[in-house]
Structure 1
Amino acid sequence: MMIHPLVTDSEQLAALCALWENAEFLAIDTEFMRENTYYPLLCLVQVSDGKNVAAIDPLAKNMDLKPLLDLICGNENILKLFHAGGQDIEIFYNLTGKTPHPMFDTQIAAMALGQGEQIGYSNLVNLWLGHQLDKGARFTDWSRRPLDKRQIDYAIGDVTHLAELFPKMLDKLVETGRGAWLDKEMERIANPENYANDPETSWQRIKIQSRNPDALGRLKALAAWREREAQHKDIPRGRIMKDETLSDIATNPPKDQHSLARVRGLSGAWSNNDIGKRLMGVITNAKPMPKDEIPSKKRGVTLGRNGSHVADLLKLLLKIRSNEMDVAPRLISKADELEKLAAGVRKDLDLLEGWRYDIFGHEALDLVEGRIGFTVNNGKISTFKTGGEDENKPADAILDMAAQNDDNRDNPAPEKDTQI
């Protein structure tokens, strides 16, 4: 593999991008800082096609990243490789308004191969390649120049190993027939809507107890205002105002700007400065939230009688099946989907479609509709078909089957199973 020194000028970068234009894949990683800015400050981009690897310095004087961004976010013929790439993708979205596509995330691939739900990169490299990574440079200040050799070696090493990991993981996915499992997850991660930061929806991230339309209207207006202030100044939103303070002001608005001096979380200067004046203007002009926009206190579905127990049985079934198949449970189904299924929802559930239905969804449906139950034999939990008159018994009724075993619990017989 040709390792290029730190790329610090546009001509070098353009030449490298010409080499990468016909690549089968590009392994990509970034180093960034976000402690003092609203948008993550991109400090380094590492790229490898398995033949040429380089670290590119976006902070170098007059650096033009366009050829690289065109490759990463514009070339649909090249597969882009990441590990836990959410923050990397966010950076490219902020720079271009687009996301890398198509893409492959090794952390998600590891879920399909039974290596945990959020395996770290170091552990993945050690597991697949037998390399112990030096993570000493991980928490350095990547915005400082010059970068030393250890930092550059560390950064380049990440994409070098990523390029080695990909073909090995791909072969295993093909061997196990699980490659198609990842398609929808990869498309979900690449969806630009995940990275759009709309000030008008920022209020939804803030906790507030009140469901009063006036308070929620102020919350929405204040959150959007804070977001725009932070974007304009390019500082973290918390530097403008903490969530707790914003929520308090929305619930108990000050009568005038002078009263801002008594608001916990704001300095006394807000009582007579320009930002305090702008804040009071937002409070004064805020409109009550329309009733159809007011969120319910209860999130998700409302479970009926024994519904939570049915959801617990579904989670147990998922744990059993995922252990048997050696796959991360979260890749098959998430808790909220299981709760919806337990509550009677049958439409728009991923677990009732495609490969998820084939390996788990059909059995989950059988459990909810009473066609299977659980048995404990020699300490091991497994499922059984209820059969006969129990074939269409609802899952909450299956819970009552446990009562039939009371006598067996008092006088256990070794030849019998315990059924739930």
Structure 2
Amino acid sequence: MHIHPLITKTEDLADLCARLAKSEFVTVDTEFMRENTYWPELCLVQIANTEEAAAVDPMAPGLDMTPLYDLLVDNEDVLKVFHAGGQDVEIVFNATGRTPHPIFDTQIAMMAISQSEQIGYSNLVESWLGLTIDKGARFTDWSRRPLTDRQIEYAIGDVTHLAKIFPKILKRLMKTGRGEWLDQEMEKLADPENYRNDPGQVWKRIKASGRNPAVLGRLKAIAEWREIEAQGKNLPRGRIARDETLADLASHPPRQQADLAKVRGLSQGWKDNEIGRRLMTAITTAEPLSEDELPPRAPRGAPLGKEGSLVADLLKLLLKIRAREIDAAARLLARTDDLELLAAGVRKNLAVLEGWRFGVFGKDALDLVEGKLAFAVENGKLKMTRVDDAVE
């Protein structure tokens, strides 16, 4: 495989992308810094096919990244392959307002052909290629220039290894016939809505108990305030205020700005400065959530209670057994929330009761809940047995 020198000129990038556009797939990785900023700072992009690989320096003066973004988001003929690519996709979305498509994530794919739920890149390379990756450059400051040859070599290795591994994973998927298991997961990864930072919606990611419209209305307003502050100052959300602080403010709102000095997790200076004034405005002008905005009520049968919790535990045990039997990740077959809802009596709108998941696991899960399946130990191994309907 030909490894190019670091690309810093637009014409070199355009030539590379023109060649890569003829490939069936490209492997992609990025290096970025976001510890001290709201927006991730893109420092390096690595891309390869089976014949060539290069690292692109987006921080190079005068470099136009358009040819690369055109290849990633506009070219539907080339599959874009990532490993644990959520943050890489987010960076492309922030730059273009769109996401790479079509897309394939090897971490997600491994869930269909092994019991690994979040296999790391080093373990992936070791298991498929028998290589041990030098982790020395992993925690480097990718924003510092000049980059060393060792840094560039390490970074490019991420896509050259992936270019060898991806066809092997694809072959295994075709052999097992589990490719369709991943269609929905890959489309979710490419869904732009996952990366759209709408300040008015971020409150939904904050853990809050109950359905009190006034409390949740304040939480929505405060979360929106924090998001706007963080974006404007380009600081991580947690540097403005932590989630638990927002939840506390929503449940126990201060009556006046001076009271902010008593709130744990907030700066003393907020009692009389502008950011504190903006926070108080968000709290005092917050409208209660409408019924349409409130989180859905717990379904009939939930909360589970003691017996329901035991049934849910049995379902989780069945899931472990099935995942081991077929060598697939339990989390791909069913989510814990679905199992608890199933135990609570819910039978509609559950992924585990639809599509391929029903045939692989959902049907047996339903039979277990309905008393048609039981656990048994044979030769020291836990197995499932059918219960004879005729037996009273």
Report the AA paired with residue 70 of structure 1.
D
Query: Offset at 1:278?
Result: 1.9
State the alpha-carbon separation in 2 of the partners of residues 248 and 336 from structure 1: 26
Q: Which has the higher contact order (CA 8 A, sep 6+)?
A: 2
1:348–1:244 Cα change, 3 Å = closer
Contact 2:372/2:389 (CA < 8 Å) preserved in 1? no
The alignment partner of 1:389 has SS state of coil
| 1:12 match | 12
The alignment partner of 1:306 has SS state of helix
Query: Offset at 1:130?
Result: 1.0
Matches within 5 A, 1:259-338: 259-295=259-295, 301-303=302-304, 306-338=307-339
State the alpha-carbon separation in 2 of the partners of residues 244 and 384 from structure 1: 46
State the alpha-carbon separation in 2 of the partners of residues 356 and 192 from structure 1: 25
The alignment partner of 2:368 has SS state of helix
| 1:175 match | 175
Choose 124-133 or 344-353, whichever is displaced more.
344-353
| Normalised TM-score (structure 1) | 0.87
Report the AA paired with residue 334 of structure 2.
S
Q: What do you get for the CA RMSD once the two structures are aligned?
A: 2.1
| 2:193 match | 193
State the alpha-carbon separation in 2 of the partners of residues 297 and 355 from structure 1: 28
Report the AA paired with residue 230 of structure 2.
A
Matches within 5 A, 1:242-257: 242-257=242-257
1:4–1:282 Cα change, 3 Å = same
Report the AA paired with residue 372 of structure 1.
L
State the alpha-carbon separation in 1 of the partners of residues 373 and 267 from structure 2: 62
State the alpha-carbon separation in 2 of the partners of residues 349 and 389 from structure 1: 30
Matches within 5 A, 1:64-79: 64-79=64-79
| 1:367 match | 368
Matches within 5 A, 1:111-150: 111-150=111-150
State the alpha-carbon separation in 2 of the partners of residues 357 and 100 from structure 1: 30
The alignment partner of 1:23 has SS state of coil
Asked if 1:110 is matched to 2:110, the reply is yes
Query: Offset at 1:304?
Result: 6.2
| CA distances 1:63-82 after superposition (whole Å, capped 9, x unpaired) | 21111111111211111101
| 1:85 match | 85
Query: Offset at 1:284?
Result: 2.5
The alignment partner of 2:7 has SS state of coil
Query: Offset at 1:220?
Result: 1.2
Contact 1:210/1:251 (CA < 8 Å) preserved in 2? no
**Which of structures 1 and 2 has the bigger CA Rg?**
1
State the alpha-carbon separation in 2 of the partners of residues 247 and 374 from structure 1: 43
Contact 2:39/2:234 (CA < 8 Å) preserved in 1? yes
| Normalised TM-score (structure 2) | 0.93
Contact 1:372/1:383 (CA < 8 Å) preserved in 2? yes
1:118–1:217 Cα change, 3 Å = same
Contact 1:225/1:282 (CA < 8 Å) preserved in 2? yes
Query: Offset at 1:218?
Result: 1.8
The alignment partner of 2:382 has SS state of strand
State the alpha-carbon separation in 2 of the partners of residues 210 and 335 from structure 1: 20
Query: Offset at 1:222?
Result: 1.1
Structure 1: gaps spanning 5 or more residues: 394-420
Query: Offset at 1:370?
Result: 2.0
State the alpha-carbon separation in 2 of the partners of residues 246 and 359 from structure 1: 42
Contact 2:100/2:190 (CA < 8 Å) preserved in 1? yes
The alignment partner of 2:203 has SS state of helix
Percent identical across equivalent pairs?
A: 61
Query: Offset at 1:273?
Result: 2.4
| CA distances 1:226-275 after superposition (whole Å, capped 9, x unpaired) | 10111122111122222233333333333333333343333333233222
Report the AA paired with residue 364 of structure 1.
A
**Aligned residues, how many?**
391
Query: Offset at 1:297?
Result: 8.8
1:67–1:299 Cα change, 3 Å = farther
State the alpha-carbon separation in 2 of the partners of residues 103 and 389 from structure 1: 50
State the alpha-carbon separation in 2 of the partners of residues 198 and 38 from structure 1: 14
Report the AA paired with residue 387 of structure 2.
T
The alignment partner of 1:307 has SS state of helix
Choose 75-84 or 199-208, whichever is displaced more.
199-208
| CA distances 1:177-234 after superposition (whole Å, capped 9, x unpaired) | 2222211211122111222222112122333457543333222111101101111221
Contact 2:299/2:346 (CA < 8 Å) preserved in 1? no
Instruction: Please list every run of at least 4 consecutive aligned residues from structure 1 whose deviation after the TM superposition is greater than 4 angstroms.
Output: 208-212, 296-301
State the alpha-carbon separation in 1 of the partners of residues 299 and 207 from structure 2: 13
Report the AA paired with residue 94 of structure 1.
N
Choose 67-76 or 368-377, whichever is displaced more.
368-377
| 1:342 match | 343
